[in-house]
Amino acid sequence: MSRPASEVNFDAIVGPTHHYGGLASGNLASAANRRRVSNPKAAALEGLAKMRQVWGMGVGQAVLPPMPRPDVGALRRLGFSGSDAKVLETARRRAPDLLAAVSSASSMWAANAATVSPSGDTEDGKVHFTPANLSSQFHRSIETVDTSRVLRRIFADERYFVHHDPLPAGMRFGDEGAANHTRLWERADRAGLEIFFWGREEAGEQERSGEGERGRFAARQTLAASMAVARLHGLKARRTLFVRQSRRAIDAGAFHTDVVAVGHRDFLLCHELAFADGLAAIEEIRVAYARAYWGGEVRVRTVRQRELSLAEAVRSYLFNSQIVTAADGEMWMIVPAECVESAAAWRIVQGLADDGTIGGYLVQNVRQSMRNGGGPACLRLRVMLTEAERSATLPGVFYSERLHDRLVAWVERNYRDRLSWNDLADPKLMEESYRAVDELTGILGMGAVFDFQKNRVPRGHRQAQVPEGAKLAK
C-alpha cells in the first residue's frame, strides 16, 4: 500500500562562531577567504531568510541547531590543560589552526550531516539515518557524536525511524553524507533510485588523474563507505547505484558531488565532467532509472564544458542550487546570488526556466556561507517523510512564521556582527555561544541534548551549566 510522502528540508542554523578558517582541503572558497573577518549574525540571518523562502513556497521546512563551539573538550584531548580561558589562549598562541578547527561552525552544512533513506526504499519500511563520520577533515569529524544525538532526538519514534552509528573512522570508510548522495523518483509514494557518488575505492589507493599524475586533492568519499551505508539501510540492489566522481572535478574544487551535480524527482542537472566515466556514467543512470521504473525516463540536463567550465561551476556553485517542489507541483531552483554574476551560469538557469524544465527560480544571498564553500543545497539535509512519520517527528523544529520571528530575535540577541581569528580565544565568545545554543534547544523543544546541558540549574532557571570558564552572563 502506497503512503503519500513529501520532502522536508532540514536546514542547520549557522552558529555564533562562524568564521573563515580555511580548514577544508580541496575547498577553494574556504582557502581563498582564510582569516577574513566574518559576520556570524549576517550568516545566520541569510540562512533563516532562505528557510523562510522555501517554507513560503509550500515546501517542507525544518531546522537543526548549531553545535556548541568552541569544543574545548577536543582541545583537552589534544593535551591542552588549565581553565577553559587558559586552554583557549594557549591554543591561540601555540596551535591557532587547532583553535580555528574546534571553533568551526561547519555543522551549518547539513548536507554532510548524514545519509537518509526514506521508508519507501528500505526493506523494513522505516526511515534510516547514518550520520557521516567526516573522517577526512578534523574540524568536521568532531561533529559526529552531536549529530547523532540531534537526529536521534528529533526522530525518536522507533516505530518509524532507525538510527545507525557513524561508520568506523579511517581512510577505508570515509563518509561525507548526503553531499555525495542523491535520490531520484518517479512518484513520491513509490521507492526511489538512490545514487551514491564516491571518489576512492580502497584505503591508501593511489589517486591519479587521467594523465597518470597524482591528484591535486584527496577524494573524501570511499566506495566501501557508500556500500556499507546501502547495506545498513537495507536498500534493494536494483534501486541502488554507485557512480565514481571524476578526478578532474575533484581537482577543480568539487570536493563533494553536489558542487557538480544535483538531482530532484526525475531530474538530474550535472556537469559533463562530474563523473569518472563521463557521459557513460550519465547513460548508466538513465538505464538504472528505467530498470527501477519499468521503462521510466529520467530527465538529464548535461552542462557541457564549453557552456560552463568546471572552474566557473565551482565559482558560481550553480550545481549547489537547491531544487524543490513547490505547493503547485512545479520544480523551482533556489540559486546562489553568485550565479547572477556568472553570465554562463545565468544562461543555464534561465534556459531551464524557458524550456519548462523548472517552473522558476529564486536568487538567494548566502554569501557568508559561500565564502566558506557552501551554497544553498549545502545548508540542508533532505528527509522524505510520510504524514505519519512527520507526525512522529519532534514538532518544535518545523518552520512557521512564529518560529521564524523567534529565531530572528534569538540571532539578534546572541550573535556578533564581526568575528576575527583573535576573537576565537575570547572566553566571552564561548559564553555567548553556549548560552545561545542552550536557549535555542529550548525554543525548539529539544531539551538538554548536548553534554554541557546535562547538569542543569534548578527548574525556573533557563541557564545551563557550561564548561569551566564559560560562565553565563546574568
pLDDT for 329-367, tens place per residue?
Answer: 999 999 999 999 999 999 999 999 999 999 999 999 999
Q: What is the pLDDT of residue 92?
A: 96
pLDDT band at residue 292 using 50, 70 and 90 as cut-offs: confident
Asked whether residue 301 carries a pLDDT value surpassing 50, the answer given is yes
| 167 secondary structure, DSSP code | P
Look up the pTM and report it. Answer: 0.92
Q: What is the pLDDT of residue 28?
A: 64
Residue 442 covered by a domain? no
Asked whether residue 471 carries a pLDDT value surpassing 80, the answer given is no
Residue 93 covered by a domain? no
Mean pLDDT across the stretch 258-276?
97
339 is catalytic: no
Q: What is the pLDDT of residue 32?
A: 73
Asked whether residue 190 carries a pLDDT value surpassing 90, the answer given is no
- Kindly tell me the burial class for residue 465, based on how many C-beta atoms sit within 10 Å of its own C-beta (0-12, 13-18, 19 or more): middle
pLDDT digits (tens, 9 = 90+) for 48-81: 999 999 999 999 999 999 999 999 999 999 999 9
Provide the grid cell at 16: 555564533
**Which is catalytic among the residues 18, 19, 139, 256?**
256
Asked whether residue 455 carries a pLDDT value surpassing 80, the answer given is no
Helices (H), 213-278: 223-232, 247-251
pLDDT digits (tens, 9 = 90+) for 303-339: 999 999 999 999 999 999 999 999 999 999 999 999 9
pLDDT digits (tens, 9 = 90+) for 125-157: 999 999 999 999 999 999 999 999 999 999 999
Residue 474 covered by a domain? no
Q: How far apart are CA 260 and CA 245, in angstroms?
A: 10
CA distances to 4, 125, 189, 190, 352 from 1, rounded to whole Å, are 10, 11, 9, 10, 35
Residue whose C-alpha cell reads 539578534 in the numeric block: 412
Lowest mean pLDDT among 55-69, 77-91, 283-297, 398-412: 283-297
Closest CA to 69 of 136, 33, 23: 23
CATH number for position 192: 3.75.10.20
Mean pLDDT across the stretch 373-400?
96
Residue 354: half-sphere exposure toward Cβ, Cα within 13 Å: 6
Asked whether residue 24 carries a pLDDT value surpassing 80, the answer given is no
pLDDT band at residue 96 using 50, 70 and 90 as cut-offs: very high
Amino acid at 90: T
Asked whether residue 434 carries a pLDDT value surpassing 60, the answer given is yes
CA distances to 106, 137, 412 from 149, rounded to whole Å, are 17, 20, 27
Asked whether residue 124 carries a pLDDT value surpassing 50, the answer given is yes
Contacts of residue 231, defined as CB under 8 A and 6 or more positions apart, other chains included, come to none
Contacts of residue 406, defined as CB under 8 A and 6 or more positions apart, other chains included, come to 443
pLDDT band at residue 212 using 50, 70 and 90 as cut-offs: very low
Q: How far apart are CA 147 and CA 153, in angstroms?
A: 10
The residue length of the chain stands at 474
Contacts of residue 353, defined as CB under 8 A and 6 or more positions apart, other chains included, come to 359, 360, 361
Residue 449 covered by a domain? no
Domain hosting residue 353, numbered range: 5-69+104-425
Asked whether residue 466 carries a pLDDT value surpassing 90, the answer given is no
Closest CA to 221 of 275, 283, 298: 275
Closest CA to 379 of 22, 48, 37, 147: 48
Mean pLDDT across the stretch 204-209?
45
> SS3 for 358?
coil
Residue 46 covered by a domain? yes
Q: What is the pLDDT of residue 474?
A: 29
Phi, psi of 9 (to 5 degrees): -95, 115
Asked whether residue 93 carries a pLDDT value surpassing 50, the answer given is yes
pLDDT band at residue 25 using 50, 70 and 90 as cut-offs: low
Closest CA to 245 of 225, 230, 260, 229: 260
Provide the mean pLDDT of the chain.
91
Q: How far apart are CA 171 and CA 167, in angstroms?
A: 11
Q: What is the pLDDT of residue 206?
A: 45
pLDDT band at residue 181 using 50, 70 and 90 as cut-offs: very high
Q: What is the pLDDT of residue 295?
A: 80
Q: How far apart are CA 11 and CA 50, in angstroms?
A: 9
> SS3 for 448?
coil
Provide the grid cell at 208: 591519479
Q: How far does CA 102 lie from the centroid of its chain?
A: 18
270 is catalytic: no
Q: What is the pLDDT of residue 329?
A: 94
Mean pLDDT across the stretch 283-297?
91
Closest CA to 411 of 390, 439, 388: 439
**Which is catalytic among the residues 143, 176, 389, 431?**
176
**Which is catalytic among the residues 7, 378, 404, 432?**
378
Residue 368 covered by a domain? yes
256 is catalytic: yes
Asked whether residue 401 carries a pLDDT value surpassing 80, the answer given is yes
Region of 181 (left: φ > 0; alpha: ψ -120 to 50; beta: rest) is: beta
Residue 261 covered by a domain? yes
Provide the grid cell at 38: 566574518
Asked whether residue 458 carries a pLDDT value surpassing 60, the answer given is no
Residue 351 covered by a domain? yes
Q: What is the pLDDT of residue 22?
A: 66
How many domains does the chain divide into? 1
